[in-house]
Amino acid sequence: MVQLSLPKSSEVKKGKYFKDKTGSKNLRKINIYRWDPSTEENPRIDTYEVDMDNCPSKVLDILNKIKNEIDPTLAYRRSCAHGVCGSCAMNMGGKNGLACTTPHAEIDGDIDIYPLPHLKVKRDLIGDLDGLYKQYQSIEPWLKNNSTKQTTEIYQSKEDRAKLDGAYECIMCACCSTSCPSYWWNGDKYLGPAVLLQAYRWIIDSRDEERKARLKKVSDELKLYRCHTILNCTNACPKGLNPAKAIAEIKKMLATANV
Amino acid sequence: MENRPLSPHIQIYKWHISSLVSISHRITGIINFFAITLICIWFALMLLGESNYQIIKNFLETFLGKFILIGITWSFSFQMLSEVRHLIMDLGYGFELQTTKITGLLVIFGSIVLTILIYLIGRGLI
């Protein structure tokens, strides 16, 4: 159900203030969502003054700087640092994105950093994505070909291969799904843009033989049709993909095909 | 485990044209529901008696009455244009970020222009 306010135990309180110790003239205030699972306390916003003269260009660089130089207790996920792994997905300046590809110069004023929206927080900027992964599993994201005789590779024309462009590049960072208000309110049933984009990727794969079964599976009031083209997903995607269009294409296929 | 907090969502997420148009589409939809009911009640009352007509007319000439009328006109205009935008999207067009911005702005400004046009036509000024 639509729950606009946060539960009492999730309300965000004011936290600590870390004053700059470097004496730099070029300071920026970074407000970061913190929650420590070992205490009973509510989440809080800690503010850090960061010396921008000695900080590279991306938001992830700021986080690394804080963790290395100011407060080692800060927890966040990161790995590749160039937009391939999808680990450092978070909400920066009110918009989801990858910390490693988002330049801090693009955000005006103080920088607010939150975990991905509407997730159970494990700690600080780390959200629990188990539900999303289970949904991903439910669409069976692998090639299904029932012929047992064929032992060679399955050929695909250039045109059919081109259909996968814009769908296969997804890194499952969850920026889109956690930006979607429909997913916030119905995340237990609605599959969300990330999973539906992948469902689309397998539906349109010319080598896959389960197209009809796949379409039938997503054809559900709650699983698919909770998309109301709010387009937060397409706006958030750090890889420039268009989940909203993929969802519209699935709806179109269902409207025209006899499933 | 159970006491894990829920991360902030609508409180912190930045609005953009498409999300604004989408939420307004819902709100105007609800307004229109009540507006149509209200208009039906007015008509029913008029059928019930001549004096009722005068009462409704007097009410519509007050500031509040005019505000409601113009509000309903805008709400209908917005809903109509936004619905056309949705129809085009249902056909699979207009999903590029730049296009959604432009069509969103067209809906917002179009609804205002349409409201003014309907007002002027209703007043017999055009």
Q: Which residue of A has its CA nearest to B85?
A: A229
A119 contacts B16? CB cut-off 8 A: no
Q: Which pLDDT score is estimated for A4?
A: 87
Q: Where are the beta strands (DSSP E) in A25-178?
A: 27-34, 44-51, 89-92, 95-98, 111-114, 121-123, 126-127
B18 contacts A229? CB cut-off 8 A: yes
Contacts with A118 from chain B: Cβ below 8 Å: 6-7, 9
Q: Which pLDDT score is estimated for B70?
A: 95
Contacts with B12 from chain A: Cβ below 8 Å: 91, 94, 112, 114, 117
Q: Which pLDDT score is estimated for B2?
A: 65
Q: What is the mean pLDDT of residues A247-253?
A: 96
pLDDT exceeds 90 at position B13: yes
Contacts with A35 from chain B: Cβ below 8 Å: 5
Instruction: Say how many Å lie between the first and final Cα of chain A, rounded.
Output: 30
Listed in sequence order, the residues at least 6 apart from A131 whose beta carbon sits closer than 8 Å to its beta carbon are A187, A188
Question: Nearest CB to A12: which of B8, B90, B95?
Answer: B8
Please tell me the distance from the alpha carbon of residue A173 to that of residue A87, in angstroms, as a whole number.
6
Structural domains counted in chain B: 1
| B75's tokens | 């709400």
Q: Which residue of A has its CA nearest to B82?
A: A229
Contacts with B96 from chain A: Cβ below 8 Å: 242
Q: Is-above-0.90 flag for pTM? A: yes
Please tell me the distance from the alpha carbon of residue B125 to that of residue B120, in angstroms, as a whole number.
5
Provide, for chain B, the percentages of residues in helix, strand and coil under a 3-state DSSP scheme, each rounded to the nearest 5: 75, 0, 20
Spatial contact of A111 and A62, defined as CB atoms under 8 Å apart: yes
Question: Nearest CB to A7: which of B6, B11, B89?
Answer: B6
Least trusted range by pLDDT, from A60-69, A236-245, B2-11: B2-11
Q: Which residue of A has its CA nearest to B95?
A: A245
In chain A, residues 6-65 whose CB comes closer than 8 Å to chain B: 6-7, 9-10, 12, 33, 35, 37, 40, 42-43
Residue A152: beta bridge partners?
none
Please tell me the distance from the alpha carbon of residue A135 to that of residue B72, in angstroms, as a whole number.
42
> Any idea where the domains of chain A sit in the sequence?
8-127, 130-256
Listed in sequence order, the residues at least 6 apart from B120 whose beta carbon sits closer than 8 Å to its beta carbon are B126
Domain for residue B12, yes or no?
no
Nearest-Cα distance to chain A for B93, in Å, is 8
As a residue count, chain A comes to: 259
Q: Which residue range(s) make up the domain with B99?
A: 18-122
pLDDT exceeds 80 at position A258: no
Residue A1's pLDDT band, with cuts at 50, 70 and 90, is low
Residue B1's pLDDT band, with cuts at 50, 70 and 90, is low
What are the phi and psi torsion angles at A47 (to 5°)?
-110, 130
A121 contacts B7? CB cut-off 8 A: yes
How crowded is the C-beta side of A129, counted as CA atoms within 13 Å?
Answer: 23
What average pLDDT does the structure give for chain A?
A: 95
pLDDT exceeds 60 at position A71: yes
Compute the C-alpha angle B69/B74/B78, nearest 5°: 150
Antiparallel, parallel or unpaired: β A121-123 and A44-51: unpaired
Domain with B79 in it: what CATH number?
Answer: 1.20.1300.10
Spatial contact of B8 and A114, defined as CB atoms under 8 Å apart: yes
Q: What is the mean pLDDT of residues A20-34?
A: 96
Q: What is the mean pLDDT of residues A149-155?
A: 86
A37 contacts B92? CB cut-off 8 A: no
How crowded is the C-beta side of A102, counted as CA atoms within 13 Å?
Answer: 27
Nearest-Cα distance to chain B for A130, in Å, is 14
Q: What is the DSSP string of chain A?
A: ----SPPGGGPPEEEEEE---S--SSEEEEEEEE--TTSSPPPEEEEEEEEGGG--SBHHHHHHHIIIII-TT------SSSSSS-TTEEEETTEEEETTT-BGGGS-SSEEEEPSTTSBEEETTEE--HHHHHHHHHT--S-----SS--SPPP--HHHHHTTTTTTT-----TTGGG-HHHHHHTTTS-HHHHHHHHHHHHS-TT-S-HHHHHHHH-STTTTTT-----HHHHH-TT---HHHHHHHHHHHHHHS--
A229 contacts B89? CB cut-off 8 A: yes
pLDDT exceeds 90 at position A2: no
Any A CB within 8 A of B51 CB: no
Percent of chain A at pLDDT > 90 equals 92
Q: What ipTM did this prediction achieve?
A: 0.91
Indicate the class that CATH gives domain A8-127. alpha beta
Domain for residue B40, yes or no?
yes
B7 contacts A115? CB cut-off 8 A: yes
What average pLDDT does the structure give for chain B?
A: 94
Nearest-Cα distance to chain A for B110, in Å, is 19
Domain for residue B83, yes or no?
yes
Per-residue pLDDT tens digits for B40-90: 998 999 888 888 888 888 999 999 999 999 999 999 999 999 999 999 999
Any A CB within 8 A of B92 CB: yes
B100 contacts A127? CB cut-off 8 A: no
Any B CB within 8 A of A186 CB: no
Q: Which pLDDT score is estimated for A221?
A: 81
Q: What is the mean pLDDT of residues A88-105?
A: 98
Any B CB within 8 A of A98 CB: no
Please tell me the distance from the alpha carbon of residue A17 to that of residue A27, in angstroms, as a whole number.
14
CA dihedral sign, ordered A175, A60, A122, A79: positive
Q: Which of 1.10.1060.10, 1.10.8.620, 3.40.30.10, 1.10.240.10 is the CATH number of A130-256?
A: 1.10.1060.10
Percent of chain A at pLDDT > 70 equals 99
Domain for residue B78, yes or no?
yes
Q: What is the mean pLDDT of residues B15-32?
A: 96
Please tell me the distance from the alpha carbon of residue A121 to that of residue B6, in angstroms, as a whole number.
6
